[in-house]
Amino acid sequence: MEREFTQEQKYVLARKRVEKISKFYKHLATYVVVNIFLSAIFIVGDMNDGDTFTEAFTNYHNYKIWLYWGIGIVFQALNTFGVKLFFNKDWEEKKIKKYMEEQSRKR
């Protein structure tokens, strides 16, 4: 049994959804800006310790925070947009058509 919502309830739900999406994009922007800043500081620090720019730039340890914080971003994206972000109905329909075309070419 599907529940019927009033216009006001629909508005409140839509507003909460938009706020959640807005928070995600703000978090994503913060992630990018802060990590660029931190990576630059780490690279300069390595160069001050005697590494060349290439060595400092390619040092994995300067980018660990991207990975760990990025895992959190991925979970927040899944929470915000759901798994449908990757596997929505359009995706399913495209895959079905693709496989049907492949089967018809084989014959």
48-68 burial, b for 16+ CB within 10 Å, e for fewer? Answer: eeeeeeeebeeeeebbeebee
Which tens digits make up the pLDDT trace of 56-104? 999 998 899 999 999 999 999 998 988 766 666 677 777 777 877 777 7
pTM over 0.75: no
Which tens digits make up the pLDDT trace of 8-60? 888 888 899 899 999 999 999 999 999 999 999 999 999 999 999 999 999 99
CA distances from 11 to 3, 7, 16, 85 (A): 15, 6, 9, 23
